[in-house]
Amino acid sequence: MDKQPSLKNYLFDPLWKNNQILVAILGICSALAVTVTMQVALTMALSVTFVTAFSSFFVSLIRKQTPDSVRMIAQLAIISLFVITVDQLLRAYLFDMSKTLSVFVGLIITNCIVMGRAESMAKNVPPIPAFLDGLGAGLGYGSILLLVGAFREIFGFGTFFDMRIIPENWYATFTHPDRYVNIGLMPLAPAAFFLLGLFVWINNLLTKRD
Amino acid sequence: MPRSSETKHTLRFIFILCFVCALLLSTLATVLRVPQEKAKQFDQNEQLLKAANIQTKDILATYAARIRPMLVDDKGNLVSFQQAGLDYSTYLQKHQKKGFADLPLKLIYEIEELSSKEVRDSPTAKGRQVPFRNWIDSSANSALKDRDCTRATVHTGDKVDGYVIPINGFGLWDAIYGYIGIKADGTTVLGATWYNQAETAGLGANIALPQWQKQFKNKQIFQVGTNGKTDYSRAALGLTVIKGRVSEILGNSPKALSSIDGISGATLTGKGVTDAYADCLAPYRPFLIKLGDAWINSPH
């Protein structure tokens, strides 16, 4: 970024042009694990957006006081603060979801996107742009999560947010074995890998890079 | 900046940062403790009802109306908490971690038959007295009902649909806790759930999924003999999680009725589950035998 970007750019840049999953290939681990169904993907997307936005804000807020030698530890402490907040809230109010997500909420701490935004952006810019950048990065990540989740849930289970999309009577039965069958690969992790690869390719095609 | 003052600044910075974070987190944890406990308890009750094969929207009311904690002694007699002079919540708190199967008085939950009147009349049924009863009620309930009509005013649903036994054991990573619902015949499974586990996500953790749990229904915890009959006193007691699919490996043999499809990639969790059923059901055997005898002798 050579010239001073506007606030809008901070928010919209990481959504597509600089999408952290598609361009920087960060946060792949959780993108594989929690995109089996839409509900889980949505919870994860919101959690990560919350954590990235607020941790970026606070990392930026104390950037002038942070000694360079301990900046990563300081960033981690702030990130953990928000991750644990999310985890505790889920446990209290969305218990079933917290059981499904289990360790993956805690693992947001090690999600490279959060750390990456803190290290490459938040520690260099004022709090408001840092917040917007974190928000954009989280939303960019979340939208890809939802996209992958949509493909996996529709083709893997025939549902969307637990609502049946592919009608029950299209399915193959014992008497009509030649009808529609869910793609068995979709609920498995490799399916997310293929889908992500596809999206990276599309992103590369559409975005002209020097 | 001179070196020593820089170090001081760094230390002060880290100290303040950690202190603020810790303060915020402990405040949050304190504030959220009550809703978290509630959510956990709610989930546990829901899992118990699932194990009892009761489908309901109003979990708290149904739980209060239809599930009654009881105790089983070493000889297999049913004792109420009142008779044993124990308080349910203290008993629960004290033994929850290690499980109940090894205690002289073991925990069991009675599933009362659905009685619409009761659900309507006492949605919480909190102050309900636990009337005197023993195992024989479940078999000859109609006769006893007439004789003990005094207690019917306290509690109308006298017939017992079955029992839920708490199960605990060790999975691959940590202790696992669950429930198994047994019909009044003492052997047929109503359902099984695991409410607390920390197995590998996507592999062993699948024991907590309904897709896996639904195959427990109508399995037999007492292995059926080759003649098609169940010998309660001698048959192997428990459910075995096998490697692979039951239908492919065991076919129609009697063993298939006491076996569960394994989860590929979760052999050790499966072994833990098998052991948990074997270890936790064995102490209940005298009680289950009595249930079985009563079932055979009663008209149904």
pLDDT in tens, chain A (210 residues): 445 667 888 888 888 788 888 888 888 888 888 888 888 899 999 999 999 999 999 999 999 888 888 888 999 999 999 999 999 999 899 888 887 787 788 888 888 888 888 888 888 899 999 999 999 999 999 999 999 999 988 888 888 887 888 888 888 777 777 888 888 888 888 888 899 999 999 988 888 665
Tell me if chain B has a CB within 8 Å of the CB of A92.
yes
Lowest-pLDDT range of B31-35, B100-104, B122-126, B172-176: B122-126
Tell me the mean pLDDT in the region B4-21. 91
User: Is B178 within a domain?
Assistant: yes
- Distance, in angstroms, between B44 CA and closest chain A CA? 11
Higher-confidence residue of B254 and A140: namely A140
What domain count does chain B have?
Answer: 2
Euclidean distance between CA atoms B83 and B100, whole angstroms: 18
Lowest-pLDDT range of A182-196, B186-200, B224-238: B224-238
Q: Is the pLDDT of residue B117 over 50?
A: no
The pTM of the full predicted model, rounded to 2 decimals, is: 0.73
pLDDT at B58: 81
User: Is B5 within a domain?
Assistant: no
User: Is B8 within a domain?
Assistant: no
Higher-confidence residue of A208 and B224: namely B224
- List the single best residue of A95, A105, A107, A109 to mutate versus B (max B Cβ within 10 A): A95
Contacts of B50 in chain A (CB under 8 A): none
pLDDT at B157: 42
ipTM reported for the complex, 2 dp: 0.79
Q: Which amino acid is at A201?
A: W
- Distance, in angstroms, between A7 CA and closest chain B CA? 28
Q: In chain B, where does DSSP find H-type helix? A: 3-51, 59-66, 81-84, 88-95, 116-121, 136-139, 141-147, 149-152, 210-213, 246-249, 267-281, 285-297
Whole-number mean pLDDT of chain B?
A: 80
Q: In A15-111, where does DSSP find H-type helix? A: 28-33, 38-61, 71-93, 95-101, 103-106
pLDDT at B143: 37
User: Is B290 within a domain?
Assistant: yes
User: Is B92 within a domain?
Assistant: yes
Higher-confidence residue of A118 and B144: namely A118
Do residues A70 and B14 lie in contact, with contact meaning Cβ atoms separated by under 8 Å? yes
pLDDT-derived band of residue B158, with 50, 70 and 90 as boundaries? low
Q: Is the pLDDT of residue B164 over 90?
A: yes
Do B137 and B224 reside in the same domain of the chain?
no
Q: Is the pLDDT of residue B128 over 70?
A: no
pLDDT at A3: 52
Do residues B74 and B286 lie in contact, with contact meaning Cβ atoms separated by under 8 Å? yes
B78 alpha carbon, distance to own chain's centre: 17
Range B250-254 contact pairs with CB under 8 angstroms and sequence separation of 24 or more: B254/B223, B254/B224, B254/B225, B254/B226, B254/B228
Tell me if chain B has a CB within 8 Å of the CB of A39.
no
Tell me if chain B has a CB within 8 Å of the CB of A143.
no
Do B196 and B139 reside in the same domain of the chain?
no
Tell me if chain B has a CB within 8 Å of the CB of A85.
yes
Find the residue in B nearest to A102 (Cα).
Answer: B201
Lowest-pLDDT range of A194-198, B154-158, B207-211, B255-259: B154-158
- Distance, in angstroms, between A188 CA and closest chain B CA? 9
pLDDT at B1: 55
Of B135, B162, B189, the one marking the end of a domain is B162
User: Is B234 within a domain?
Assistant: yes
Euclidean distance between CA atoms B109 and B107, whole angstroms: 7
Tell me the mean pLDDT in the region B101-126. 67
Higher-confidence residue of B125 and A33: namely A33
- List the single best residue of A81, A93, A98, A109 to mutate versus B (max B Cβ within 10 A): A81
Tell me if chain B has a CB within 8 Å of the CB of A190.
no
pLDDT at B2: 65
Q: Do B10 and A70 touch (CB under 8 A)?
A: yes
Of B100, B128, B162, the one marking the end of a domain is B162
Q: Which domain holds residue B208?
A: 164-297
Of B147, B162, B177, the one marking the end of a domain is B162
Tell me if chain B has a CB within 8 Å of the CB of A84.
yes
pLDDT at B208: 86
Using a CB–CB cut-off of 8 Å, the residues of B that contact A are 6, 9-10, 13-14, 17-18, 21, 24-25, 28-29, 32, 35-36, 39-40, 42-43, 198, 201-202, 205, 208
Do B226 and B288 reside in the same domain of the chain?
yes
- Distance, in angstroms, between B166 CA and closest chain A CA? 20
- List the single best residue of A102, A123, A182 to mutate versus B (max B Cβ within 10 A): A102
